[in-house]
Amino acid sequence: MNEQNIFSEVTLLITVYNRSRSLERLLAAFENLNVRFGEIIVSDDCSRPEHIKAIRDLQAKYAFNLITTPVNRGLGHNINKGQDAVETPFTLYVQEDFVPRNIFPACLHEAVRHMHGNGELDMVRFYSYFKFPYLKPVNGELSEMLFDTTFAGYKKFYMYSDHPHLRRSNFLSKFGRYKEGANIDVTEYRMMISFLQKKGKAFYYENHKDIFDQLNSPDEPSSFKRDFWRESNNVIVSSVRHIYRYVKFRLDYSFRKN
């Protein structure tokens, strides 16, 4: 059996929408790893009645604080209202379709240690789709994410992500609230730009595919679908997309007020 891992200074914040079975899988995974948090907050974005019932049944087992809303207001509002309820110094943010692996508790211990040791550190990231291109090693596993407008390419802008991460619970005070009434990509993008503009500092696990799995089951698929422009691998479309992003990201970083 795994040793018990108690993180009394960390609140687990989970956002959920119409995926109660995915939520159960995530909570069970933390339970199986013997991970305990100061509090667990589940922020629901007006899921269908059958999912709300299932979530309330889970609440009796896992003793989390459930925060609901009478109307669906998007991911931005869902994160904001959940983060507003956090009372511990640190927040572990995880969307419901992720599952921690066995290595996670050790990684979280290390992340909390660095948060205590470095007052300028705003977040530690545990997952990403691709390796961030500009990194400065901190130790054998963690690196500091670096950003400068003179660096080549546009992937340097992706310092912030909604993927699983540990952050200080004053995050909204420093970087602003998440954009509400917008789709998921816009909400994440606006926070990404704000994080860069306000000189956010982040560490990054280089084994970013070994700490969490992202699982979208057929019975509870993702409710968000990206369009052809974002997904196409066509050489021409891909080239235009890269140029567009490079120009847009630079302009928004320089001039957008979030």
Which tens digit of pLDDT belongs to each residue from 37-84? Answer: 999 999 999 999 999 999 999 999 999 999 999 999 999 999 999 999
**pLDDT value for 222:** 60
Q: pLDDT tens, 177-189?
A: 999 999 999 999 9
Answer whether 16's CB lies under 8 Å from 47's CB. yes
What is the residue whose two structure tokens read 């130790």? 139
- What is the residue whose two structure tokens read 């572990």? 92
Give domain limits for the chain. Answer: 5-255
Residue ranges in the chain modelled with pLDDT below 70: 1-3, 217-239, 258
From the list 244, 232, 7, 242, the residue with the least C-alpha distance to 116 is 7
Q: Give the three-class secondary structure for 120.
A: coil
Across 211-228, b (16+ Cβ under 10 Å) vs e yields: bbeeeeeeebeeeeeeee
User: Are the C-beta atoms of residues 39 and 65 closer than 8 Å to each other?
Assistant: yes
pTM (predicted TM-score): 0.91
Q: What pLDDT does residue 228 have?
A: 46
Its CATH architecture, for the domain 5-255, is Alpha-Beta Complex (3.90)
- What integer pLDDT is reported at residue 1 of this predicted model? 41
Q: Which strands, in side-by-side order, build the sheet including 65-67?
A: 65-67, 35-44, 5-16, 90-95, 165-168, 123-125, 202-205, 142-145, 135-137
Q: In this structure, what token pair is assigned to residue 95?
A: 């969307």
Q: Are strands 35-44 and 5-16 parallel, antiparallel or unpaired?
A: parallel
